[in-house]
Amino acid sequence: MEFVDLKAQYRRIAERVDARIRRVLEHQRFILGPEVAELEQRLAARVGAKHCISCASGTDALLLALLALKIGSASGRNSPDEVITSPFTFFATGEMITLAGARPIFVDIEPVGHNLDPEKIEAAITPRTKAILPISLYGQPADMDAINAIAARHGLAVIEDAAQSFGALYRGRHSGNLSTIGCTSFFPSKPLGCYGDGGACFTNDDALAAAMEQLRNHGQQGRYRHTRIGINGRLDTLQAAVLLAKLEVFDEELTARAEIAGRYTALLKDSVPTPRLLHERTSAWAQYTIEVDDRASVESSLKGAGIPTAVHYPTPLHLQPVYAELARDVGWRIGSFPAAEHAADRVLSLPMHPYLEPHQIEEIAEALKVALRGPVGASAQRV
Ligand SMILES: *Cc1c(COP(=O)(O)O)cnc(C)c1O
């Protein structure tokens, strides 16, 4: 069994993907070829944003957003800019804030969606705060209206890390187009994935769009005229071609993911805390993540039954070795963000992709129930 079965997907869409790739091989415009522009138009139309700027990864998307907003060293300010974000995320979120020359300021999550808790944000705002960067974790959007309202009161930008949530809705609006800039990833195992690295930024602001378009291409405004310090962060034409083929089945895949999540929950809800969707939200179901008390033993029992699992993520960012100095400076330690730390100790993601068969879901659920009972003989030993 695969955690994410990309081969099953390829068996379904091989003809479309091969045809799209072949066209690129024929025209040979590998850098910013016609597929890139076509993809950007389709993605922008899909989320209802004025602009889509594709780029080389979700990580680059975050960096481009921060650079376009002149947050960090690009600001020219002496004291470090601050960006409020969640400590319970993939490392890239905090990493790009730091790489841009700003400081990530962590705020705890709410325990249901595992996203930035809007009630805790305002206390963390200082005169140095420039933006709020919520993550829409596991595919479910953060409470973006509440976060946008706080940002508006304080004159801050909001960057949504929608790397896991492309395809999800919040109050009928698309994740990725819920704030100043939305960033997503096309890493192969994300809900919409390419065959390598890829990403995109969305915005409705013309000036930010122009800035990100230049920044992803060495800050060029016209050929060899450099008006900004940027990066080589373009999306490959080949990856755009793969994404165009995959977009044709994406809505069906989202429906399949939601059905699979529903099946899991029906089978597991009496045994273990299952994922819950908050009010007026859908999920792209990048992950189906439960919470267990004795994770190590559940993981090894499932592994023994041939079922792959993953932990997203075992260590919150404020406890990462690289942030030890920042943590000392700001005063973060174990216990600083109890909801994030509690989740990090307990979350366990089960296999999730649109091609999971009902019999596989049943097999996983049965194996999980056995695993939750603990190792055979453990209770006897305790007596
Ligand atoms: C995957 C991911 C990223 C990084 O995306 P890449 O395309 O791998 O660079 C950033 N943030 C979150 C929350 C992610 O899940």
CATH of the domain at 315: 3.90.1150.10
Q: How confident is the model at residue 383 (pLDDT cuts 50, 70, 90)?
A: very low
Average pLDDT over residues 114-124: 98
Q: Which domain holds residue 189?
A: 6-244
CATH of the domain at 171: 3.40.640.10
Token pair for 303 = 């592994």
Q: Are residues 108 and 196 in the same domain?
A: yes
Q: Answer yes or no: is 317 within a domain.
A: yes
Q: Say how many C-beta atoms besides its own lie within 10 A of residue 172's C-beta.
A: 7
Answer yes or no: is pLDDT of 322 > 50: yes
Q: How confident is the model at residue 30 (pLDDT cuts 50, 70, 90)?
A: very high
Token pair for 182 = 């939305």
Q: How far is the CA of 189 from the centre of ligand 1 (A)?
A: 10
Q: Are residues 235 and 276 in the same domain?
A: no
Mark which of 244, 268, 303 sits at the end of a domain.
244
The CA–CA distances, whole Å, from 331 to 72, 105, 120, 336 equal: 21, 11, 17, 8
Q: How confident is the model at residue 374 (pLDDT cuts 50, 70, 90)?
A: confident
Q: Are residues 220 and 267 in the same domain?
A: no
Domains identified in the chain, total number: 2
Answer yes or no: is pLDDT of 377 > 70: no
Nearest CA, atom 6, ligand 1: 58
Residues with CB under 6 A from ligand 1: 57-59, 89-90, 92-93, 135, 161, 163-164, 185, 187, 197, 199
- What pLDDT score was predicted for residue 58? 98
- What pLDDT score was predicted for residue 144? 98
Looking from the CA of residue 89, the nearest atom of ligand 1 is 13
CA distance linking residue 9 with residue 253, whole number of Å: 9
Q: Are residues 112 and 215 in the same domain?
A: yes
Looking from the CA of residue 62, the nearest atom of ligand 1 is 10
Q: How confident is the model at residue 139 (pLDDT cuts 50, 70, 90)?
A: very high
Mark which of 244, 267, 299 sits at the end of a domain.
244
Q: Answer yes or no: is 366 within a domain.
A: yes
First to last CA, the chain: 37
Q: Answer yes or no: is 203 within a domain.
A: yes
Q: How far is the CA of 275 from the centre of ligand 1 (A)?
A: 21
Q: Are residues 224 and 258 in the same domain?
A: no
Q: Are residues 212 and 340 in the same domain?
A: no
Q: How confident is the model at residue 376 (pLDDT cuts 50, 70, 90)?
A: low
Answer yes or no: is pLDDT of 378 > 90: no
**Cα dihedral across residues 202, 207, 211, 213: positive or negative:** positive
- What pLDDT score was predicted for residue 74? 81
Q: Are residues 313 and 236 in the same domain?
A: no
The neighbouring-strand residues paired with 348 are: 290
Average pLDDT over residues 329-351: 97
Looking from the CA of residue 197, the nearest atom of ligand 1 is 7
Substitution site in 140, 161, 283 for ligand 1 pocket (most atoms within 8 Å of beta carbon): 161
Token pair for 260 = 């699979």
Q: Are residues 145 and 62 in the same domain?
A: yes
Give the residue among 178, 159, 174 at the shortest CA–CA distance from 70: 159
Q: Answer yes or no: is 1 within a domain.
A: no
Substitution site in 136, 187, 194 for ligand 1 pocket (most atoms within 8 Å of beta carbon): 187
Q: Say how many C-beta atoms besides its own lie within 10 A of residue 362's C-beta.
A: 13
Q: Are residues 260 and 128 in the same domain?
A: no
Mark which of 225, 244, 263 sits at the end of a domain.
244
- What pLDDT score was predicted for residue 382? 44
- What pLDDT score was predicted for residue 76? 82
Q: How confident is the model at residue 75 (pLDDT cuts 50, 70, 90)?
A: confident
Q: Answer yes or no: is 275 within a domain.
A: yes
CA distance linking residue 243 with residue 105, whole number of Å: 34
Answer yes or no: is pLDDT of 226 > 70: yes
Q: Are residues 166 and 287 in the same domain?
A: no
CA distance linking residue 59 with residue 61, whole number of Å: 5
Q: Are residues 147 and 234 in the same domain?
A: yes
Answer yes or no: is pLDDT of 244 > 80: yes
Q: Answer yes or no: is 71 within a domain.
A: yes
Average pLDDT over residues 56-79: 93
Q: Are residues 34 and 95 in the same domain?
A: yes
Residues contacting 370, CB < 8 A, separation 6+: 301, 305
Substitution site in 185, 197, 231, 283 for ligand 1 pocket (most atoms within 8 Å of beta carbon): 185
Answer yes or no: is pLDDT of 28 > 70: yes
Q: Answer yes or no: is 33 within a domain.
A: yes
Q: Answer yes or no: is 156 within a domain.
A: yes
Answer yes or no: is pLDDT of 375 > 60: yes
